[in-house]
Amino acid sequence: MNGNGNTRKSPVTIREMTVEDIATVFELGEKLFTSKEVPNLYRSWDDYEVIGLFYDDAEHCFVAEMHDRIVGFVLGTTITKKRSAWKYGYLVWMGIDPIVQRMGVGERLFEWFRDTMLEKGVRMMLVDTEADNTPAIRFFKGLGFGNDEKHIYMTLNLSEKMKKKRKKDAAGSVVGRRRGTT
Ligand SMILES: CC(C)(COP(=O)(O)OP(=O)(O)OC[C@H]1O[C@@H](n2cnc3c(N)ncnc32)[C@H](O)[C@@H]1OP(=O)(O)O)[C@@H](O)C(=O)NCCC(=O)NCCS
């Protein structure tokens, strides 16, 4: 699929992502989803994330191009639940190059993604982002998303337990060696 259009005077093309785009999409995401900016993100941006979504769901991954350069991407998937006849469309990652933000590229890309979801029989779309990501929240609300539900993500640091375990394992292997079992 491919769609051309003018985004506030700048021509933008939306097309399906290809394997050749993986590196560019990953690099653009690195600019946008750095661990410094989103330290509490429960899922992190890495090459496995991009490759995994692309290989599992290539038909739900799109890029936006301006002047033959990738300036945005959306990576998604569909979800079906056991006791529900509904199909859900999950927008997992979306990013627009800061150079072209607020030019309507995100809106065009989202509309393309939403129309694809509609074609696939999706009844409800889901998106999640950090509570303090005001630009994204405004963006998604402007596109009609609502019913915000807050989730709390907690962390448990296992460093101390890990140290103890390593000591215990090391002591065990010494005993094992003494007994001649290793
Ligand atoms: C959120 C994001 C995708 C928006 O893309 P964009 O191309 O800049 O968005 P658009 O130009 O289509 O904006 C559409 C509307 O969204 C809202 N919006 C977008 N960016 C905004 C911002 N920084 N502050 C406030 N509202 C904003 C506005 O209502 C805007 O309309 P307007 O420009 O006429 O006021 C982009 O800022 C981005 O890539 N952010 C970093 C990654 C991210 O947070 N992704 C989302 C979670 S996965």
The 10 Å Cβ neighbour count of residue 97 is 18
Question: How many Cβ atoms from other residues are within 10 Å of residue 34's Cβ?
Answer: 11
Atom of ligand 1 nearest to the CA of 133: 44
pLDDT for the residue 76: 97
Q: Show the ligand 1 pocket: residues with CB < 6 angstroms.
A: 32, 93-96, 101-107, 129, 133, 135-136, 138-139, 142
Question: Which structural domains are found in the chain, ordered by start?
Answer: 2-152 (3.40.630.30)
Q: How far is the CA of 131 from the centre of ligand 1 (A)?
A: 15
Burial 7-31 (b: 16+ CB within 10 A, else e): beeeebbbbebeeebbeebbebbee
Average pLDDT estimate for 87-112: 97
> Which has the minimum average pLDDT: 81-85, 106-110, 144-148?
81-85
The alpha carbon of 135 and the centre of ligand 1 are apart by a number of angstroms equal to 5
Which positions ≥6 away from 35 have C-beta within 8 Å? Answer: 41, 44
> Could you tell me the pLDDT band of residue 84, with boundaries at 50, 70 and 90?
confident
Strands (E), the chain: 2-7, 10-16, 61-66, 69-80, 87-96, 124-127
Closest atom of ligand 1 to CA, residue 33:
42
Q: How confident is the model at residue 135 (pLDDT cuts 50, 70, 90)?
A: very high
Please calculate the CA angle 82-87-91 and round it to the nearest 5 degrees: 115
For helices 22-32 and 47-57, what crossing angle results, to 10°? 130
pTM of the model: 0.85
